[in-house]
Structure 1
Amino acid sequence: MLSDELKLLPAPESLKLFSGEFVLDLPVRIEGEPSFPGIAEAVLGKECVPGSGGIRFRTDPAFADEAYSLMVARDGVSVVARDLRGGRWALCTLAQIMERCGTRLPCLEIRDAPKFKVRGAMLDVTRGRVWTLDHLKDTIRKLASWKMNLVQLYFEHAFASKGNEEVWKDSSPVTPEEMRELDAFAADLGVELCACQNSFGHLTLFLLHDRYRPLAEIQPGMNFDSWGRLSGIPQSLAPDDPKALDFVRNLYESLLPNYSSKWINIGCDETLDLGFGRSRRKAAEIGLENVFAGFVSKLCAIVREMGRRPMMWADMPLRYPEIIEKLPPDLIYLLWGYDSNTPFAEWCGILKKTNREYWVCPGTCNWSSFLGDSTRRRENLKIAASAGIAGGASGYLVTDWGDGGHRQCWGPSLLGLAEAAHRAWSGLAPYSPDAAGLRAFGSERAAWWFEAAGDVDLSIKKAGIPGLYADFHLPWHQLDARATPAQAVYFRLARNAVRTLRDDIPADAPELLKREMKFAADFAGLAAERAVLRRESRVAELKELGRKMRPLIREFRELWLERSRPGGLDASAGKWEAAADELERIY
């Protein structure tokens, strides 16, 4: 057997194969730490009992944290690590070998260690889609098998916090009981479930309610610049309102007791309306950055009172590096960015000079897409690893957002999480889509399908034209001077590529995944057709396209409920329905 045939994810630092094999008898006999048989049974999925002649585990303080060696010889399996954490990761590797080889194990030696101390994934459960508990457990189980050791569930309003029922009642929220169950489930797999509650901006769904409206920075009659457009929709808390702090304290008091983790991500990103409303005068007097830093410092004080350590998205500190010295020294900075040229190296340089802890935070790049964004994802994940390793980042946290109602399918997200797990552990070692597909979907071809699917509109984007998803969300009649009929050629090519993919869905992919692939390809193909028709002013055919959307929307609703709770479904499906309505109203 060749080493490539094992298809290990993440790729180990060193792997040597030798002649011979060892047959691992069942039940698996374990020597070493008393608790190791229990860990082995959970990881390997086989009955494990104390005894000799199977797997020997010993600790060695000379090993680095979480590093391990795994040796398969003719007389048995040997695992050495500093402690049980490294032993667990060795078992994860052994489990993948057994998936390929059964109990007839090839003789080999693996030496392995992580490139990042913290290797995490953040899953959005608040922008429309709240995953079912079963789906979350399945995802955490996969992440643990890929040696990820931290998971965050991103909340704005979708946690069932005490006293806020009017806000979360229709969102099918995650309950305290579910969070405690998930926390214990993750801990058993060696994964830390870390609290994540946005605490400054991104609180619109609270602030639109009459009860919470007085806490907002933007009050009726006020406006701010929201991504180039004037908006009066509140996003952030008013930083000088004492009741705003009471509000956040209540969120923390509801959320934090359900976690065993010492950390909480307090968010604080994209406070776009700050300084445009109630804090305008103070921002003019002392500077917007100091208004921001003052409120964040108060949030951190609450967190410390509750015995936790805060982390935050670092867009404002990177924009105003001078405030870093004014913020609490224990605050962890999350350096996030999702482009192929995100300046992670520059950002790491800024933070390194301050002697503060920081993590690099790339993304799966699946949100706001039909089929993902493969090239951007690969480049983004890789440069984050490269800059983080060189720049001294202690953590690598991949994000999977749900912008626009979380309407994307799951496959490209899971593939992105698998690649991120490889980068977090193995750094710049060659990444294998075969290994990722096998471990994520049980299908190597599924990974290659998503890799190709995520680039169907790459030539469109390179030409400076909005991609399929972005173009689909422009009004059918909105065409700028560049949107000439000649552009239709690009979209015809994308349409043809999607049709080819639609006819080549891997037979060995799981049935639900195949349905999701078909749906995503059908919708992407429809978007490409719409782009062609609107550029060529073929109005009658555009109107017919609206009717063709209706069966796809019904399938979207059915697929949603396979992995997600019903809360948020009507609002998300409503975005598709509004697009169909627009086309059917053409006259």
Structure 2
Amino acid sequence: MTSNPPLLIPQPHSFAWSSGSFGLHGATTIVLGTQAGAATLFAARDLQSAIDDVAGLRLPIVKSASTNQRSAIRLILQGRDDASDQPDGTGETLGAQAYHLVITDAGATITAADEPGLFYGVQTLIQLVRTYGRRLPGCTCTDQPVLPNRGIMLDISRARVPTLATLTRLAKTLAHYKINELQLYTEHTFQFPTHPEIGKNTGALSADDMLALDEICRERHIALVPNLQSTGHMRHILSLPQYQHLAETEWRWSITPALEESYDFLDELYADFLPAFSVPILNVDSDEAWDHGRGQAKELSAVGGFGRVYLEHILKLRELASRHGRQIQIWADVFNHYPELIAEIPEDVILLDWWYEAEESYPTLKALAESKRPFYVCPGTSSWNTIFPRIDNSLGNIRNYVRDGVAAGAIGMLLTDWGDMGHYQPLSNSWYSYLFGAEMAWTGATTATEVFNQAFGPLFLGDASGQTVTAIQRLGRAVEQPALARSNSSDVVFALYDEPLAGRMARETPAAALEEMIAAAEAAMPAFARLSDATLRHELLFTASQMIYAAQKVLLGQEIRRALGELAADNTGSAKGAARLDSLIARLETLRAELPPMVAEFERLWLLSSHRSEIDVNLQRYAALLARFDAALSWLRGQRARYAAGERLDAELKTYDPGEYLILWDQGQKDLHRLVEVVGRDAVPPEILRWLGLAA
């Protein structure tokens, strides 16, 4: 017996070690009641496979009404199966998704009131088998979730569309950690039979893909909730010639509510999309509808106001969805700007409150709680807009948002994993936050991070030493150093793509922050190299190598600029100065030479997990960086020649032309400035104006 918390994710509501132990052996059986159906048999098969994988024992599954088997693992559904010999405590009535697990010398018994609870009890037993092998310590566990809905949302519309094999692995793994909702954020990456040009050349998923994934999810008690953007973020569709007239403004962001044709079009998309899903819910998204009601519908807005036009649009989406037998979810951000309208939202609309920064409290929850509408809290993995996730931000965001959500009456958590700017980050970067989210949603944010880490290492990473978790934490903190931290992003990825000589990073970033990036990544590599899972190992090692490359690139740019300044006053063309310039040029050539193999590895890893999709968004960015390396080298060689001729060096880079080299959020800011021109400053949310430097 031990007093330590069990190595389980998520931690159970109640758990106690007891004396004795149960030994698995060749005569052990998995016993189901005679009335057990397909769902119970599926859970039993899952347990059977896990024990075979860990212990090398293929335990037979039997159906029996007998209550006196020895050395048995019994799966009991209350109200269906005979439970007359249940150990003390298992006779209590259990709630939805709850289970009771008892391990004694005689065997193990899992009791639940419903099939999800039975499945979750099996997952807990599987984790104990993975920790203890054939000899399971005695224990009693009673468990149930705090939040009934515990979801993950993966962006599949920002250039990367995972393969069905990747999505299958995702669903199976999430189910093991008791996640019961999965959404794939979709703008255009579906093969719409009625509108085939929308998903053309994007790696779009088919109805067959969704049907297969839906079946995989249903077997594991995951609701695969259809997610289709139906208001803003529709630029891909609205940029196609045949749909441009449906754009609200020339910015081509939101679909116009001024034309009935918009709703006929959405109805056709729903008719193509929704039959592949068995869950009677549709997330219509509708967030960040910045130009909605500002163009074709501006006369409607002049009468009723922008908020009312948006509300009427949502009501029409609700009506469309209901024709297809669906209840809708929507992001709540627009209504945060029009709180007076929340009371007019029908009570069956599920509101999704999102925010992706770690805060001490989340004030938007107050209005949602008072509205009596069902709502989720939606934190983020903090894995986008960075090379490696902002781990501490993600953990604080998840923990505090779930904590406040539970207190305010939230019915669920939807942890978001976005793919801004091309979804260059691999899925492996998100697993730590995924499982932490599963932990917080199940327990109501009560588990200490140290307890979670102690279980995450051995259960998910296969590392009981704690070294890999330590490496993940240090890398996460390296990208969040004050010199690199930004709201919703980290400058580490800007360092990778920034202009080699004239870029902001080379001008502004303290060397110490860059050196910590390198040190953290180098320290992580041995731990990552020992990971048994090849996908995790390769993707995390590649991520660490990109961190090192990005920091080295900026440090070299700083060194070159410093050398130019120090040598500018020396017009003698000294051998020492020339050698210094030659060395810097050679090192820049080396970094340039390392870039094409890095791009090739990026592409290879991408294609192992994802369709080719719109990878060119990223490949073009790399190609532009390669061109900047060539320009920098050409200019620097010219400076070397000037120095040899006794001419003054250009220390201020006045003769160096970086061109209009805009990357990542610099390009995004340019696009948003165009939005301000189109809709007017008053129409843009304050947080966007602050980001653009236009706030009063």
Which of 330, 335, 350 is the equivalent residue of 1:317? 335
Q: Kindly tell me: are residues 490 and 58 of structure 1, through their superposed partners in 2, closer, same or farther at Cα, counting changes over 3 Å?
A: closer
Q: Equivalent residue for 2:36? A: 34
Measure how far apart 1:310 and its partner are: 0.1
Deviates more, 1:1-10 or 1:14-23: 1-10
The answer to whether the 8 Å contact 1:44/1:92 transfers is: no
Q: Unaligned 5+ residue runs, structure 2?
A: 50-58, 79-90, 562-583, 636-696
After the TM superposition, which residues 86-485 of structure 1 pair with which residues of structure 2 at under 5 Å, given as runs?
86-219=117-250, 232=251, 234-341=252-359, 343-344=361-362, 346-427=363-444, 428-431=446-449, 432-444=452-464, 445-461=467-483, 467-476=491-500
Q: Deviations over 1:231-267 (max 9, x none)?
A: x4x1110111111111111111111111110111000
Deviates more, 1:301-310 or 1:429-438: 429-438
Distance 2:405 2:472 in 1: 27
Q: Match of 1:523, as an amino acid?
A: Q
Deviates more, 1:100-109 or 1:304-313: 100-109
The answer to whether the 8 Å contact 2:130/2:459 transfers is: no
Q: Match of 2:16, as an amino acid?
A: K
Q: Kindly tell me: are residues 3 and 200 of structure 1, through their superposed partners in 2, closer, same or farther at Cα, counting changes over 3 Å?
A: farther
Distance 1:342 1:483 in 2: 34
Q: Deviations over 1:489-540 (max 9, x none)?
A: 3222322332333354341332332221221111111211233334455484
Distance 1:125 1:77 in 2: 41
Q: Equivalent residue for 1:222? A: none
Q: Number of aligned pairs? A: 572
Distance 2:355 2:483 in 1: 19
The answer to whether the 8 Å contact 1:37/1:49 transfers is: no
Q: Kindly tell me: are residues 286 and 532 of structure 1, through their superposed partners in 2, closer, same or farther at Cα, counting changes over 3 Å?
A: farther
Deviates more, 1:4-13 or 1:382-391: 4-13
Deviates more, 1:166-175 or 1:4-13: 4-13
Q: Match of 2:277, as an amino acid?
A: Y
Q: Equivalent residue for 1:527? A: 550
After the TM superposition, which residues 61-76 of structure 1 pair with which residues of structure 2 at under 5 Å, given as runs?
62-76=93-107
Distance 2:438 2:182 in 1: 12
Q: Kindly tell me: are residues 373 and 30 of structure 1, through their superposed partners in 2, closer, same or farther at Cα, counting changes over 3 Å?
A: same
Deviates more, 1:247-256 or 1:15-24: 15-24
Q: Match of 1:73, as an amino acid?
A: T
Q: Check if 1:494 corresponds to 2:517.
A: yes
Q: What TM-score, normalized by structure 1, do the two folds share?
A: 0.92
Q: Unaligned 5+ residue runs, structure 1?
A: 220-231
After the TM superposition, which residues 14-33 of structure 1 pair with which residues of structure 2 at under 5 Å, given as runs?
14-26=14-26, 28-32=29-33, 33=35
Q: Kindly tell me: are residues 450 and 552 of structure 1, through their superposed partners in 2, closer, same or farther at Cα, counting changes over 3 Å?
A: same
Measure how far apart 1:25 and its partner are: 4.5
Q: Kindly tell me: are residues 251 and 461 of structure 1, through their superposed partners in 2, closer, same or farther at Cα, counting changes over 3 Å?
A: farther
Distance 1:467 1:575 in 2: 16
Q: Kindly tell me: are residues 397 and 44 of structure 1, through their superposed partners in 2, closer, same or farther at Cα, counting changes over 3 Å?
A: farther
**Whose Rg is larger?**
2
Distance 2:597 2:95 in 1: 55
The answer to whether the 8 Å contact 2:150/2:412 transfers is: yes
Q: Equivalent residue for 2:537? A: 514
Q: Kindly tell me: are residues 107 and 310 of structure 1, through their superposed partners in 2, closer, same or farther at Cα, counting changes over 3 Å?
A: same
Q: Match of 1:34, as an amino acid?
A: A
The answer to whether the 8 Å contact 2:529/2:541 transfers is: no
**C-alpha root-mean-square deviation of aligned residues, in Å?**
2.3
Q: Kindly tell me: are residues 111 and 475 of structure 1, through their superposed partners in 2, closer, same or farther at Cα, counting changes over 3 Å?
A: same
The answer to whether the 8 Å contact 1:412/1:450 transfers is: no
Q: Kindly tell me: are residues 5 and 488 of structure 1, through their superposed partners in 2, closer, same or farther at Cα, counting changes over 3 Å?
A: same
Deviates more, 1:486-495 or 1:167-176: 486-495
Distance 2:60 2:609 in 1: 30
Distance 2:194 2:616 in 1: 25
The answer to whether the 8 Å contact 1:553/1:577 transfers is: no
The answer to whether the 8 Å contact 1:546/1:583 transfers is: yes
Q: What TM-score, normalized by structure 2, do the two folds share?
A: 0.78
Distance 1:358 1:463 in 2: 30
Q: Check if 1:49 corresponds to 2:62.
A: yes
The answer to whether the 8 Å contact 2:332/2:351 transfers is: yes
Measure how far apart 1:132 and its partner are: 1.0
Q: Kindly tell me: are residues 514 and 463 of structure 1, through their superposed partners in 2, closer, same or farther at Cα, counting changes over 3 Å?
A: closer
Distance 1:73 1:10 in 2: 22
User: The residue matched to 1:585 in structure 2 has which SS?
Assistant: helix
Q: Match of 1:452, as an amino acid?
A: R
The answer to whether the 8 Å contact 1:132/1:564 transfers is: yes
Q: Kindly tell me: are residues 542 and 315 of structure 1, through their superposed partners in 2, closer, same or farther at Cα, counting changes over 3 Å?
A: farther
Q: Deviations over 1:136-193 (max 9, x none)?
A: 1111111111111111111110011123222212112111011111111111111111
Distance 1:545 1:438 in 2: 37
